[in-house]
Structure 1
Amino acid sequence: ATYGAMGGALFIGGAIAMERSKGWLDQLAVTPLPAHGYVTAKLVSGAVTVLPSIVVVLGAGALLSGVRLPAGTWPVLVVLIWAGVLPFAALGVAFGYTLKGQVANLAMMIVYFAMSVLGGLWLPVQAMPAGMRALAELSPAYQAGSLGWRALDGLPPTGASLAVLAAWTLLFCALAVWRYRRAL
């Protein structure tokens, strides 16, 4: 669920790149809408659109694969996975204002796969060499995944996970606002 939601949040940048290629930013430039308002709307849009995919994947696990969890774990997983992919929505917005057209989609695909592998969403981080493992633990993909992994073990998120995710989210939001202003 984290892997799919991460991709969905990141690929909001493709829609932004298409809007840019059609001249939508020129139209926004003549409105009184501040940069942070439009970027915030795109972040919220990117974040909200992943909620159904999270619910569908978890529902499929329960209904089709026989996954059994305590009743309270399911809503906690939805919230934690959703919160964990917020940095990727911000990164997607930044990509959308940095690159145009299909180049944006290609770049996002490369980053998506690289972060997924590095973050342990394809293979366990414990199987990685020590240096790569240390780098993985600082990645937003690993920290997003750890929110769900810990919830499955009945544990709350760690402060370090929340801090790393918050730092990446703020960094990517700042990058998105900067790129939006430069794109005008």
Structure 2
Amino acid sequence: METGVSASRPAASEMDVNLVEAFLTASRALVGVAARSLAAGDAEITLSQHRALVLLATRGPQRMIDLADLLGVNSSTATRQCDRLQRRGFVQREPDPDDRRAVRVILTDAGRQLVRQVTDARRAEISAILHAMPNQSRTSLLAALRAFTDAAGEVPNQHWSLGWGTEPTTGTGTDRGIAP
């Protein structure tokens, strides 16, 4: 009888199920924080557009096809998104020096400032939530979240929020110099 679990993947343990459910609940809270923080940026952009700006801030200039891949959308969707962001002065396009057929998308100073404002608002709200937790829970959470973001391939904030360089960074998780 088919149970819905693939033969190549073992059934999830009760702990796994509970952990997934806890993350889903936490992610709803974080989506709320993210949505509220966009209002602090003094620019009406969508969460998806903000994600594109953050990817450019964390990874540096990207070819349009690569940005689309990072966003998990097709190239035409990424192009429309960048069109809107470019009209508002948050990104610019330039020919890719390595491939004359390609275009790179680059974060502008206004785009960096917007990401900074939204990130500062998000940081303040998350800080307030974390300070409502007991110290022991916060210590355990720090290790767990670092492991989770490493597994997800996300670049730690300090790699981009402190330097704001134009070169892509690598986020292996082992080169963190500053605690969040």
State the TM-score, normalizing by the size of structure 1.
0.28
In our comparison, the structure showing a higher alpha carbon Rg is 2
Higher relative contact order at CA 8 Å, sep ≥6: structure 1 or structure 2?
1
Higher helix share: 1
